[in-house]
Amino acid sequence: MTEAISQSLPQPGGHPASLHLASLHDAATADLPVSSVSDWIALLKPRVVMLVAFTGWIGMLIAPGTLHPVLAATAILCITVAAGAAGAINMWYDRDIDLVMRRTRNRPIPAGRILPGEALGFGVFLAVASVLVMALATNLLAAAVLAASIGFYVFIYTMWLKRRTAQNIVIGGAAGAFPPVIGWVAVTGGLDTLPLLLFAIVFFWTPPHFWALSLWAHDDYARAGVPMLPVVAGARETRRQIIIYTIVLVAVSLAPWALGLAGPIYGAAALALGIGFLACSWRVLRDTQDASGVSQTNDAPARHAFKFSIAYLFMLFAAIAADRLVS
Amino acid sequence: MTPVPEPHTTLPPGTLPPGQRDEEAHRHRRGRNIAMLVVLVALAVLFFAITMVKMSKPDIGG
């Protein structure tokens, strides 16, 4: 900003004082961030939040018992806002690596539209508010699990694991697995086997989902120094891990049906979707690649698997809700 | 008489002239203020609704 001010200062030589002050003001505001509402919404990672809100809602829907619609809507709002808050704090912490990654350099903080401190304040305020409102609207356990999910994402994943280990996504995936549990606890006030299985499904879904993305974005991660699996272990090993985790995911996804906690609608959907996901992962494994494992197809199978994985989770959770509503 | 130089001619290329920038900043600030108003009103309605629901529960009212 000092440079901008000095650049636009009028040359010495007897200008009127008002002109001098006006240009000083203009120069001082020239470098201040000009954020719009959409920048603040972008700070909440709306696409990720949508999936989180959906799984949280399904957790509530399938839970035994009832919750007043106003309180249920409030609980979903709290889950949504908490996820957004965690995303905003993540963007504050990761602003240095976001700046060097092509995929993230236009985010509001690296692009200079929102100041880091503002983003942090925004995220912390929303996180605290969402937990308090959850406690008021539902119960203390739901609020505690919500707080734990924010803490896990911010401290365990973002600050501890992400820059240190190739297993960042595996362990950090737990953060995204909390919402169905929170939804369930908001209704029942306790835990059970089914929400824990839903937790496990999202937990095992996360690695193949993110590793598919990191296969074609690994240059970005390497430049930023983030030890994603393709950067550390190579693309070939990542493809192998994707199929292993997909096999585990499909087995876990069938558990609710096998244990009698979900009906045939869910069982059939889990099987069909699982076969689809396995086929995608198999194509990723068999992708045409050179000796070092670099894709010769611009990672087309990985891009397809990434898209399919999002649809997979949506449809699987929709299936369990449909199954519960029908039976 | 010495001509008064344009004060903003030295801004980096691609930067909006300060007048336009002020206008844009004003527009964004107005948008943020309206959004804040909507959020505050929505929160007031939400807290009112939560209170009504909680108050209508038999274990609290009775």
Q: Count the Cβ atoms, other than its own, within 10 Å of residue A67.
A: 19
* Number of structural domains chain B divides into: 1
Q: Count the Cβ atoms, other than its own, within 10 Å of residue A6.
A: 10
Q: Mutate one of A19, A21, A70 to test the B interface: name it (highest B CB count within 10 A).
A: A70
Q: Which parts of chain A fold into alpha helices (H)?
A: 2-8, 17-30, 37-42, 46-62, 69-93, 95-100, 116-137, 140-151, 168-188, 193-216, 218-224, 229-232, 235-258, 264-285, 300-326
Which residues in chain B are contacts of A34 at CB distance < 8 A? 21, 24-25, 28
B50 occurs within a structural domain: yes
B23 occurs within a structural domain: no
Per-residue model confidence (pLDDT) at position A3: 40
In the predicted structure, residue B62 carries a pLDDT above the cut 90:
no
A154 occurs within a structural domain: yes
- What is the extent of the structural domain holding B49? 29-61
DSSP states of A75-123 as a string?
Answer: HHHHHHHHHHHHHHHHHHHTHHHHHH-TTTTTSTTTTTSS-HHHHHHHH
pTM: 0.83
Interatomic CA distance for residues B47 and B61, integer angstroms = 18
- A-B CB pairs within 8 A amount to 68
CATH of residue A36's domain is 1.10.357.140
Which of A190, A217, A248 lies at the terminal end of a domain, its last residue? A190
Q: Which residues, listed in sequence order, are joined to residue A289 by a DSSP beta bridge?
A: A295
A1 occurs within a structural domain: no
Per-residue model confidence (pLDDT) at position A218: 84
Yes or no: say if A229 and A166 are a contact pair by the CB < 8 Å rule.
Answer: yes
Asked if B46's CB is within 8 angstroms of A136's CB, the reply is: no
A176 occurs within a structural domain: yes
Taking residues B18-45, report their average pLDDT.
87
Interatomic CA distance for residues A62 and A226, integer angstroms = 38
A115 occurs within a structural domain: yes
In the predicted structure, residue B15 carries a pLDDT above the cut 70:
no
In the predicted structure, residue B23 carries a pLDDT above the cut 80:
yes
Which residues in chain B are contacts of A11 at CB distance < 8 A? 5
Is residue A226 domain-shared with residue A129, that is, in the same domain? no
Which pLDDT tens digit goes with each residue over A176-226? 999 999 999 999 999 999 999 999 999 999 999 999 999 988 888 999 999
Is residue A138 domain-shared with residue A39, that is, in the same domain? yes
Is residue A124 domain-shared with residue A48, that is, in the same domain? yes
Is residue A184 domain-shared with residue A271, that is, in the same domain? no
* Number of structural domains chain A divides into: 2
B16 occurs within a structural domain: no
CA distance B55 to chain A (A): 12
Kindly state whether A12 is in contact with chain B, defined as any CB-CB distance less than 8 angstroms: no
Kindly state whether A1 is in contact with chain B, defined as any CB-CB distance less than 8 angstroms: no
Residues belonging to chain B with any Cβ–Cβ distance to chain A shorter than 8 Å: 2, 4-5, 7-8, 10-12, 15, 18-19, 21-22, 24-25, 28, 31-32, 35, 46, 49-50, 52-53
Is residue A318 domain-shared with residue A258, that is, in the same domain? yes
Higher pLDDT, A18 or B8: B8
Residues of chain A below pLDDT 50: 1-29
CA distance B50 to chain A (A): 6
Asked if B46's CB is within 8 angstroms of A74's CB, the reply is: yes
- What is the extent of the structural domain holding A175? 31-190
A15 occurs within a structural domain: no
Q: Please choose, from the candidates B60, B44, B41, the residue with its C-alpha nearest in 3D space to the C-alpha of residue A68.
A: B60
Q: Which parts of B1-62 fold into alpha helices (H)?
A: 18-55, 58-61
Per-residue model confidence (pLDDT) at position A34: 75
Is residue A50 domain-shared with residue A114, that is, in the same domain? yes
Asked if A11's CB is within 8 angstroms of B50's CB, the reply is: no
Is residue A205 domain-shared with residue A186, that is, in the same domain? no
Classified as helix, coil or strand, A290 is coil
B45 occurs within a structural domain: yes
